[in-house]
Each structure stands twice: as C-alpha cells, then as structure tokens.
Amino acid sequence: MKPRTTSVSVRSGFSLVELLAVVVVIGLIAGLVAVEWNAILPRAKLNSEVHKISAAIHGARSEAIARNAVWRIYYDLDGNGYEVSSPFRAGGGLAQRIEERMSLGMVGLPRGLEITRVTIDGIDYNEGKVFVSFDPIGSATDHSITVAQPQYEAVYTIEVLPLTGLVRFHYQDYRRLPVSEEDFD
C-alpha cells in the first residue's frame, strides 16, 4: 500500500508587499521623530547657555562670599559674551586697580544666540561692555540679562535679585516694574 501524501504549503519569510509596508511605517515614524527632535533641539541649546550664565553668576556670588571680596561679571554685548573677574592679581594678593584684576576668561555664546540686553538698576544696555558686582554679604547689583535666539524667536531673561544675589528665570523678555510708594500703602 502506498503512503498517502498531502501537499501542505509551508510559508516561510515575508512577501515583498509586507516588507514594503513595514519599511513605509518605519519611515513615517522616523520622519515624525526627526521633526520633533529638530523642534526641541534649538530650545535645548538656548536653555543650556542660559544655565551656563546662571552658573557663572552663582559662582561669582559664592566666591565673593567665600573670599570676602567683591567679584564682578562683565557682559560684552558687542562681543556677545561674558567674563568673571576676581578681585585678585595674577601673582596673588588683592588688585589695587581695575586693570590688575584677574579674569577667569571670556566665555562667548554659540552662533545663533546673543545677549540682546543687560538691564542694570533699571537702565537698559544694548551695546558696549558693562559690569555688575557681587558683595561679600551675598548681595549683587540689581540686573537682568536677556538672551535671545532670533532664528526661533526664543527669549530667556535671567533676573538677579539685588538683596540676595539669587537668580530667577523667565522664559520671555521680562522687565521688573519699578517699585513705587503706592506698593507700601
């Protein structure tokens, strides 16, 4: 007796249509991820630089307190950067003149970011080089720094509170209203 054979069709692998469908779906997902990543990346760059400036501010304030001396930060609006200046001479000891003060180095902002305004004691500066001070008791010159990324219309303002020297962040172009006598009634 002959064994009975049946033809069973065994399918192995994927058809070309199935593979193309998977490739299309993966391509669509990758496209969406790339679009979202490009939208997030510019804000991350601005946010990173704002936090670097904030770290320099905190560092200058901390050094002023720890070393019992006045530290400064110079904002160079034309050169688009900032530098921390210690009250000490390069060879040691306190500097007697401004020219003797040791700089910790100019830090420039990356391309696409700019310091658009520094407001010191209510006066706006849009060009030149200005400085603020940090006292040994922790207070600071009343100031704010506005950093912009014009290509993406993004603006951050770093506000330094004068009495405490602490920092506040504002995710916009921020200006503190001046205090009036009516505020105390």
pLDDT, residue 4, reads 66
Confidence band of 155 (pLDDT split at 50, 70, 90): very high
pLDDT, residue 35, reads 59
Q: What percent of the chain has pLDDT over 90?
A: 50
Residue 38: is its pLDDT beyond 60? no
Contacts of 65 by beta carbon, 8 Å cutoff, 6+ apart:
136, 137, 138
Q: Give the pLDDT confidence of 19-35 residue by residue, as tens digits.
A: 888 888 888 887 776 65
Question: What's the rounded mean pLDDT across residues 91-117?
Answer: 88
Residue 36: is its pLDDT beyond 80? no
Task: State the number of CA atoms in the 13 A half-sphere of 110 facing the CB.
Answer: 10
Sign of CA pseudo-dihedral 52, 77, 68, 135: negative
Instruction: Identify the helix (H) or strand (E) that includes residue 65.
Output: helix 16-67
pLDDT, residue 60, reads 95
* Neighbour count for residue 87 (Cβ, 10 Å): 20
Could you give the CA distance from residue 145 to residue 57 in angstroms, rounded to a whole number? Answer: 11
Parse the chain into domains and list their residue ranges.
Answer: 16-184
Tell me the C-alpha to C-alpha distance, in Å, between residue 89 and each of 97, 103, 119, 136, 143.
9, 9, 29, 18, 26
- Topology (CATH level 3) of domain 16-184: minor pseudopilin epsh fold (3.55.40)
Residue 80: is its pLDDT beyond 60? yes
Residue 11: is its pLDDT beyond 70? no
